[in-house]
Amino acid sequence: MRKPLVAGNWKMNGMRASLIELAGMARAYPAALRAKVDLVVCPPVTLLFPAVASALGSGIAIGAQDCHAKTSGAHTGDLSAAMLFDAGANAVIVGHSERRADHAETDADVKAKAAAVIAEGMTAIVCVGETRAEREAGKALAVVSAQVRASLPEGAKASNVVIAYEPVWAIGTGLTPTIQDIAEMHADIRATLGREIGKDQAAQMRILYGGSVKPQNAKEILDLADVDGALVGGASLKAVDFMAIAEAAG
């Protein structure tokens, strides 16, 4: 019912020479795998247009890592969703914990950015997740449910929004929650979505897991009922690792 999605977030990594990895991903993404798993790669914005050109015809979508909520104006250094779409983006990550922490982005900011993304006809990958202190205090489910409710834009539906659950303490650390914790969180997110956008849309919306996803642990995580793919950080920088995760999703 829900086609898995594996999304690569290159973060602040990559030069033009890095596009050789994208070419490797394209070679390892035959029609049979395309039919089973969707792929999107989100390079730094300096590589957005050349990545689009490199991925042309491969079936790999290219996305961006952030956008401004406004369509244009006096916002030096910022990029609007319209600009990213014009450069060839199909999706935009919003609300990543690194943006929430490093740039003090609130749920309201994330909601506004997500709205801007879907207004341009792109997919908003809305990130949510708890800190280690929040999990140890037994607040993880409540914290993430509140983030989902406050970050969903008006008009959110399965065709234009993907939720990415990334426990903040697991990103880039090599740590992951237990399989039971991941299953519980994803089920709770889907229940929250059901209350917010209706059970039919919630049943169709993809919920990704992120946080130290690698080829060695991907299969066990991706086999969970409410895990519909992965948001991959470091492992998305190498074609062999990223495509191993894609194979596990298929």
Question: Beta 61-64 vs 91-94: how paired, if at all?
Answer: parallel
The catalytic position among 21, 105, 134, 166 is: 166
Residue 96 appears among annotated catalytic residues:
yes
Task: Catalogue the E-assigned strands of the chain.
Answer: 5-9, 38-42, 61-64, 91-94, 123-128, 161-165, 207-210, 229-232
The catalytic position among 21, 68, 96, 120 is: 96
Q: How far apart are CA 120 and CA 64, in angstroms?
A: 13
Q: How far apart are CA 135 and CA 15, in angstroms?
A: 36
Coil, strand, or helix at residue 237?
Answer: helix
C-alpha dist (Å) from residue 111 to 17, 36, 117, 128: 34, 30, 10, 12
- Residue 106: partners with Cβ closer than 8 Å, 6 or more residues away: 100
Helices 140-151 and 179-197: angle between axes, nearest 10 degrees: 40
Residue 166 appears among annotated catalytic residues:
yes
Q: How far apart are CA 250 and CA 6, in angstroms?
A: 10
Tell me the H-state helices in 137-214.
140-151, 179-197, 199-204
Question: What backbone phi and psi angles, to 5 degrees, belong to 74?
Answer: -85, 75
> Tokens for 65?
């890592």
As annotated, the active-site residues are 96, 166
